[in-house]
Structure 1
Amino acid sequence: MNFRHLSGSSATPKTLKFGFDQKSFVKIINKTAVSQSLTNATEQTLMRGHSAAITCTATNKNLMLTGETGYDSDVLLWDTETNQILQRFSEHDGGIIAVDFSDDDLFWCSYGADGWLHIVEIASGDIVCRQAPTASNELLKLSILKFGGRISDPRGFKLALYQLIGISESGLLVKIVFNPKTALIETTVINSANIKKSVMDCEFLQTDRNLAVAVTLSGDVFMIDLTTQALICQMQLPGQISVLNCVSVLKPNQALLQQRQAQQKKNIYQTYGRMEQLDEFVAIGGQNAVCILRGQQNNWQVVKRLNLAENVIGIDSDEAGRIIFECSSGKIQLLVPPDYIQAELCSHHTKRITSMQFIGDKLVCAASEDNTLRILDLCDYNPGLVINTGFTAKTPTYPTAVCLNEVQLVTGFSNGDLKIYDVENGDLLTQIQAADRGVIASISCMRNLILLGSQTGDVRVWDLRGQKIVDQQRPHTQPVCQVQLMKDLKENPLVISSSEDRYLCATVAGVRILDFQLGGPLRAFVQINGLFFCIGGRAVDIVDLKEHKLVDHLEFQQRLMSLCARSDSELVVGCDDGSVLRIGVNANKLSLIEAKVKVHGGSVDKISSFNGVVVSADSVGELVVWD
Structure 2
Amino acid sequence: MAGAMHLNAVVGFSGCVENGLVLHPDGKTLIYPLGSTVVLRNVNDKGTQDFLQGHTDKVSCLAISRSGRYLASGQQTYMGFKADVIIWDLEKHTLLHRMSLHKVKVQALDFSHDEKYLASLGGQDDNSLVLWDVETGEAVCGSPTANNFTFAVKFFNNSSNKLATGGNYNLNVWEYDLQQNKLRPHDVQLGSLQRCFHTIAVDENDHFMYCGTSTGDLLQINLDRKLLRNTGPAKGCLPQGITATCLAPSGDLVVGAGDGSLVIMKRDQDGDDARFLKKLPVITSIRLTGGITTVTVDERSMGPNKFSMLVGTRNCDIYRVTYDSQAKKLSEELIQTAHAQPIRSLAFPFQYSAVFATSSFGEIRIWHLDTCRELLRIAVPNLDCNCVAFMQDGKSIISGWSDGKIRAFGPQSGKLLYTIHDAHHRAVTAIASTADSSRIISGGEEGMVRVWRITKQSQSMIASMKEHKAAVNSIKLKESSNEECVSASSDGSCIIWDLATFHRRSSLFANTIFKSVAYHPDESQLVTAGTDRKITYWDAFDGQAIRILEGSDTEQLDCLAIDPDGEAIVSGSSDKLVKLWAYDAGHCYETGVAHSGHVTNVAVTDDRAKVVSTGSEGAIMIWSYHRPTPAGDLSAR
TM-score by length of structure 2 reads 0.81
Residue 312 of structure 2 is aligned to residue 326 of structure 1: yes
Amino acid at match of 1:368: S
Q: Secondary structure of the residue that 2:374 maps to in structure 1?
A: coil
Q: Secondary structure of the residue that 1:123 maps to in structure 2?
A: coil
User: What is the CA–CA distance in structure 2 between the aligned matches of 1:597 and 1:288, rounded to whole Å?
Assistant: 35
User: What is the CA–CA distance in structure 2 between the aligned matches of 1:609 and 1:124, rounded to whole Å?
Assistant: 44
Residues 219 and 237 in structure 1, CA contact (< 8 A), matched pair in contact too: no
Q: 1:342 to 1:488 in 2, by over 3 A?
A: closer
Post-superposition shift, 1:228?
1.7
Match of 2:462 in 1: 470
Post-superposition shift, 1:606?
0.7
Match of 1:378 in 2: 369
Residues 247 and 282 in structure 1, CA contact (< 8 A), matched pair in contact too: no
Post-superposition shift, 1:372?
2.3
Report which of the two has the higher share of strand.
1
Q: Secondary structure of the residue that 1:399 maps to in structure 2?
A: strand
Match of 2:217 in 1: 220
Residues 128 and 180 in structure 1, CA contact (< 8 A), matched pair in contact too: no
Residue 311 of structure 2 is aligned to residue 317 of structure 1: no
User: What is the CA–CA distance in structure 2 between the aligned matches of 1:365 and 1:203, rounded to whole Å?
Assistant: 41
Residue 35 of structure 2 is aligned to residue 45 of structure 1: no
Residue 474 of structure 2 is aligned to residue 482 of structure 1: yes
Residue 496 of structure 2 is aligned to residue 506 of structure 1: yes
Post-superposition shift, 1:239?
10
Match of 1:355 among 342, 345, 357: 345
Specify every segment of 5 or more residues in structure 1 that has no aligned partner in the other structure, as ranges: 152-160, 253-278, 392-396
Residue 34 of structure 2 is aligned to residue 29 of structure 1: yes
Q: 1:422 to 1:174 in 2, by over 3 A?
A: farther
Q: Secondary structure of the residue that 2:315 maps to in structure 1?
A: coil
Match of 2:161 in 1: 162
Post-superposition shift, 1:294?
5.0
Q: Secondary structure of the residue that 1:164 maps to in structure 2?
A: strand
Q: Secondary structure of the residue that 1:384 maps to in structure 2?
A: strand
User: What is the CA–CA distance in structure 2 between the aligned matches of 1:413 and 1:10, rounded to whole Å?
Assistant: 25
Match of 1:107 in 2: 117
User: What is the CA–CA distance in structure 2 between the aligned matches of 1:501 and 1:213, rounded to whole Å?
Assistant: 58
Match of 1:256 in 2: none
User: What is the CA–CA distance in structure 1 between the aligned matches of 2:403 and 2:490, rounded to whole Å?
Assistant: 20
Post-superposition shift, 1:366?
0.7
Q: 1:387 to 1:245 in 2, by over 3 A?
A: farther
Post-superposition shift, 1:185?
2.8
Match of 1:306 among 286, 299, 305: 286
User: What is the CA–CA distance in structure 2 between the aligned matches of 1:314 and 1:552, rounded to whole Å?
Assistant: 51
Amino acid at match of 2:613: S
Q: 1:478 to 1:401 in 2, by over 3 A?
A: same
Q: 1:374 to 1:239 in 2, by over 3 A?
A: farther
Match of 1:451 among 420, 441, 448: 441
Residues 581 and 592 in structure 1, CA contact (< 8 A), matched pair in contact too: no
Match of 1:90 among 100, 117, 122: 100
Match of 2:199 among 198, 201, 206: 201
Post-superposition shift, 1:232?
3.8
Match of 1:606 in 2: 601
Residues 539 and 556 in structure 1, CA contact (< 8 A), matched pair in contact too: yes
Residue 612 of structure 2 is aligned to residue 615 of structure 1: yes
Match of 2:187 among 180, 186, 189: 189
Match of 2:569 among 572, 579, 585: 572
Q: Secondary structure of the residue that 2:424 maps to in structure 1?
A: coil
Post-superposition shift, 1:330?
0.9
Q: Secondary structure of the residue that 2:45 maps to in structure 1?
A: coil
Q: Secondary structure of the residue that 2:56 maps to in structure 1?
A: coil
User: What is the CA–CA distance in structure 2 between the aligned matches of 1:81 and 1:593, rounded to whole Å?
Assistant: 34
Answer with 329-338 or 237-246: which moved more.
Answer: 237-246
User: What is the CA–CA distance in structure 1 between the aligned matches of 2:23 and 2:8, rounded to whole Å?
Assistant: 22
Q: 1:224 to 1:564 in 2, by over 3 A?
A: same
User: What is the CA–CA distance in structure 1 between the aligned matches of 2:248 and 2:261, rounded to whole Å?
Assistant: 21
Post-superposition shift, 1:19?
2.4
Post-superposition shift, 1:40?
0.9
User: What is the CA–CA distance in structure 1 between the aligned matches of 2:544 and 2:194, rounded to whole Å?
Assistant: 75
User: What is the CA–CA distance in structure 1 between the aligned matches of 2:443 and 2:333, rounded to whole Å?
Assistant: 41
Q: Deviations over 1:229-267 (max 9, x none)?
A: 344443327994433433343476xxxxxxxxxxxxxxx
Match of 2:75 among 68, 73, 89: 68
User: What is the CA–CA distance in structure 1 between the aligned matches of 2:549 and 2:139, rounded to whole Å?
Assistant: 51
Match of 2:15 in 1: 11
Post-superposition shift, 1:53?
1.6
Q: Secondary structure of the residue that 1:353 maps to in structure 2?
A: coil
Match of 2:408 among 406, 413, 420: 420
User: What is the CA–CA distance in structure 2 between the aligned matches of 1:251 and 1:566, rounded to whole Å?
Assistant: 51
User: What is the CA–CA distance in structure 2 between the aligned matches of 1:548 and 1:117, rounded to whole Å?
Assistant: 60
Residues 14 and 20 in structure 2, CA contact (< 8 A), matched pair in contact too: no
Post-superposition shift, 1:57?
1.4
Specify every segment of 5 or more residues in structure 2 that has no aligned partner in the other structure, as ranges: 273-277, 303-307, 625-637
Amino acid at match of 2:24: G
Q: 1:597 to 1:616 in 2, by over 3 A?
A: closer
Residues 74 and 92 in structure 1, CA contact (< 8 A), matched pair in contact too: yes
Post-superposition shift, 1:551?
5.8
Post-superposition shift, 1:38?
0.4
Answer with 493-502 or 223-232: which moved more.
Answer: 493-502
Residues 205 and 249 in structure 1, CA contact (< 8 A), matched pair in contact too: no
Identity of aligned residues (%): 19
Q: Deviations over 1:319-351 (max 9, x none)?
A: 324411111211101235658653332100122
User: What is the CA–CA distance in structure 1 between the aligned matches of 2:619 and 2:57, rounded to whole Å?
Assistant: 14
Answer with 51-60 or 328-337: which moved more.
Answer: 328-337
Q: 1:518 to 1:18 in 2, by over 3 A?
A: same
Residue 334 of structure 2 is aligned to residue 344 of structure 1: yes
Match of 2:150 in 1: 142
Q: Secondary structure of the residue that 2:348 maps to in structure 1?
A: strand
User: What is the CA–CA distance in structure 1 between the aligned matches of 2:111 and 2:6, rounded to whole Å?
Assistant: 36
Answer with 209-218 or 589-598: which moved more.
Answer: 589-598
Match of 1:276 in 2: none
Match of 1:178 among 176, 179, 194: 176
Residues 6 and 624 in structure 1, CA contact (< 8 A), matched pair in contact too: yes
Q: Secondary structure of the residue that 2:375 maps to in structure 1?
A: coil
User: What is the CA–CA distance in structure 2 between the aligned matches of 1:115 and 1:487, rounded to whole Å?
Assistant: 58
Q: Deviations over 1:279-336 (max 9, x none)?
A: 7233221223222345472597766533324321211124324411111211101235
Post-superposition shift, 1:534?
0.5
Post-superposition shift, 1:365?
0.9
Q: 1:618 to 1:511 in 2, by over 3 A?
A: same
Aligned length: 575
Q: Which has the higher contact order (CA 8 A, sep 6+)?
A: 2
Q: Secondary structure of the residue that 2:252 maps to in structure 1?
A: strand
Q: Secondary structure of the residue that 1:535 maps to in structure 2?
A: strand
Post-superposition shift, 1:6?
1.1
Post-superposition shift, 1:211?
1.0
User: What is the CA–CA distance in structure 2 between the aligned matches of 1:182 and 1:419, rounded to whole Å?
Assistant: 69
User: What is the CA–CA distance in structure 2 between the aligned matches of 1:349 and 1:191, rounded to whole Å?
Assistant: 42
Residue 116 of structure 2 is aligned to residue 118 of structure 1: no
User: What is the CA–CA distance in structure 2 between the aligned matches of 1:503 and 1:243, rounded to whole Å?
Assistant: 49
User: What is the CA–CA distance in structure 2 between the aligned matches of 1:578 and 1:461, rounded to whole Å?
Assistant: 34
Q: 1:65 to 1:445 in 2, by over 3 A?
A: same
Residues 250 and 318 in structure 1, CA contact (< 8 A), matched pair in contact too: no
Residues 500 and 521 in structure 1, CA contact (< 8 A), matched pair in contact too: yes
Q: Secondary structure of the residue that 2:136 maps to in structure 1?
A: coil
Q: Secondary structure of the residue that 2:46 maps to in structure 1?
A: coil
Map 1:214-253 to 2 at 5 A: 214-236=211-233, 240-250=237-247
Post-superposition shift, 1:355?
0.2
Q: Secondary structure of the residue that 2:161 maps to in structure 1?
A: strand
User: What is the CA–CA distance in structure 2 between the aligned matches of 1:593 and 1:618, rounded to whole Å?
Assistant: 20
Residues 358 and 365 in structure 1, CA contact (< 8 A), matched pair in contact too: yes
Match of 1:157 in 2: none
Post-superposition shift, 1:603?
3.4
User: What is the CA–CA distance in structure 1 between the aligned matches of 2:24 and 2:234, rounded to whole Å?
Assistant: 29
